[in-house]
Each structure stands twice: as structure tokens, then as C-alpha cells.
Homo-oligomer: A and B are copies of this chain.
Amino acid sequence: MAATIRDVAQASGVHVSTVSRTFSAPHLVNPETRNRVLAVAEDLGYRPNRAARALTTGRTHNIGLIVADISNPFFPPLIKAAQAQARARDYHVFVADTDEDPQVEEELIQTLTKQVDGVLLCSPRLSNRAIERLHADVPFVVVNRRVKGMPTVLMDVGQGARLAIDHLTGLGHRRIALVSGPSGSWTSGEMRAAATAVEGVDLVIIGPNAPTEQGGLAVAAEVVASGATGVLAYNDLVAIGLIEGLYERGVRVPGDVSVVGVDDIVPGRLNRPKLTTVAMPAVAAGRMAVDLLLQSVCDGAAPTLATLETSLVVRESTGEVRK
């Protein structure tokens, strides 16, 4: 086992904060003490940066927050909620965007590791194996991904997908298209599993697909060709892009086709037609993620799994199937 800062402190006969200061601000430690501490540290093979973080004095009081796409309006409310919760506990949040690229995601985690006390990984595109490996260097909380032994915040999008499909079948829709998201997405997998499990529905799965307006525009022709009268889109951006693409083809929403989104982003509420959507508890998730991270960092708490409920908000983009 590697030597800890406490081992070095004990063997040098100084307080742990002196050991910490020896590495972080050597000019503030008297030379004799400094030399003794550094000699002991070398003897014991003590590596300062990693362990220093575990000490109050060594904390950066910064949290990293990594998101797949900062331009998706789903993330800002989550980011702002995390920031507010962190600020209340004297922490700052720094955000980095991976542009949906797993390699960038990995690089950013490695860079942040040196600067923060922990990282919130929101909708990661990395594999579980990569997340587990990187977790050795810095505490994580994962949001919208299930990784064993790691503090986790899930938004129950499977439950939301069931509500959306029940809503569509209640309006008489039988042929329903699921426009799925990126292949690395846990959310997309959950939606697919939930939609497949509903009986009496003639389900068409379209995708994997980019989780953006462009992604929605791009599948409009395929949705029309599928003959589906109801659509559950991966998220609101896809739904908004799809509705635009349908209008361009002279297909009316909800007159001809009903569309349900996921997330409940602000643009969906102001769009015409206003979007029926599965509301994701982004604000609660942002707060919860910070709480779980600080519990893990400060109190050494065991990893918790928090599952947050979703709900269906019915607006104008869904209606009865055309006879």
C-alpha cells in the first residue's frame, strides 16, 4: 500500500498540514522541517498530489462537470443547479464539453483530475470500462449511466417512455416510431427497452441518430416513409428538428403525426406547436450529483444510486390519430 500523508506526518513528527504545505507552498515551511519532511516522503515513496486532495487543506474546492454537448438546452439547468448547490458548500464548478466525442471526454477527465476534488460525468459517451479505469484517479458521480460501485444519479427515462407511449396509444396511435439517440447513450438504451416492452404497439425503431435538431431534420423522410402516426423522439431537440422536417414535407403536427420529445427544454415550450414531452428532472439531478460527490469526497460515504422520477407534460404536438 502506498504511504499516506499521515504516514509522512507521523514519521516526520509534524502535523499533516505541514506536510501538505511542504508540497504546496514550500517557501512557507522552515527549511529544516521542509527538508526532514521531503526526506521522509522520499523514503516512504509518498506521492503528494493524489493524497493531498484527501486533506481539507489539500482540497481545491473545485468540481469538474463534463457534459456531452453544452449546446443542448437540457444541460444548462443541470449545470446551473449543480453550480448553485456547490456554491452553497463553498465549491466552484468548471464545465467542459466533450462534443459527444469519447476521446475528448477521456482527455478532459485526465486534465480535470489535477484541478478538482471530483468530477460529475453527465451522459458520458465513454464505455463503463473506461469510466471504471479513470475513476481510480479522481472521485466521480455519473449521471444517466449505470456504472457498478459508483455514485450514480439516474433520471428514469424508461418510466417516461412508457408514459409517452401510453399517451400515444390512448390517442389511438398504433404504429409508433422511436427515434433513438447515439449508440453510447444509456438513455437511448432505456427508452428502447421500455418501448419494446409495451404490448399492442407496432413499433418502428429509427436510429442510432445524432441527438440534435439536425438529427431530427435528417430522419423526417424516414419517419414519413415508416407510416408511423406517433413518434417518440430521443430528446426535444430531435423532436423540434423532426417537426420542422415534417412541415417542410407538408406533414402537419399534430394533424397528421403526433410527436413527443424528452427533456422539457425551454425552446420546446415556446415552439409552435408547443411540445408534448417527457420532463426530465435536470435541476434535481444537478443538485443530487453535487450532494453525492461531496458525500463521497468529504465523508467517504458509500456509493449511492439515486433514481429520479420523470413525468409527461402534454402540450400541443400530440393529438388523436387521424381516422
Residues of A within 8 A of B (CB): 22-23, 26-27, 31, 34-35, 38-39, 41-42, 48, 60-62, 64, 70-71, 73, 76-77, 79-80, 83, 87, 92-97, 99, 104, 107-108, 111-112, 115, 213, 240-241, 244, 266-267, 270-272
A108, B80: Cβ atoms closer than 8 Å: no
A97, B95: Cβ atoms closer than 8 Å: yes
Q: A71-B80, A97-B83, A270-B241 are in contact. Are A111 and B62 (CB under 8 A)?
A: yes
Residue of A26, A241, A272 with most partner-chain B CB within 10 A: A26
CB-based nearest B residue for A107: B92
List 25 contacting pairs A-B, 8 Å CB cutoff, sorted by A.
A26-B34, A26-B38, A27-B38, A27-B41, A27-B48, A31-B38, A61-B111, A62-B111, A70-B79, A70-B95, A71-B73, A73-B73, A73-B267, A87-B104, A94-B94, A94-B96, A95-B96, A240-B267, A240-B270, A241-B270, A267-B271, A270-B271, A271-B271, A271-B272, A272-B272
Residue of A34, A35, A96, A107 with most partner-chain B CB within 10 A: A96
Dominant SS among interface residues on chain A: helix
> In the complex, how many angstroms separate the beta carbon of A167 from the nearest chain B beta carbon?
23
Q: A26-B23, A27-B42, A213-B270 are in contact. Are A80 and B107 (CB under 8 A)?
A: no
CA distance A41 to B23 in the complex (A): 16
> In the complex, how many angstroms separate the beta carbon of A270 from the nearest chain B beta carbon?
5
CB-CB under 8 A from A213, the residues of chain B are: 266, 270
CA distance A308 to B135 in the complex (A): 43
Partner of A97, one of B39, B80, B115, B244: B80
Partner of A71, one of B26, B76, B112, B115: B76
CB-CB under 8 A from A64, the residues of chain B are: 94
A23, B27: Cβ atoms closer than 8 Å: yes
> In the complex, how many angstroms separate the beta carbon of A23 from the nearest chain B beta carbon?
7
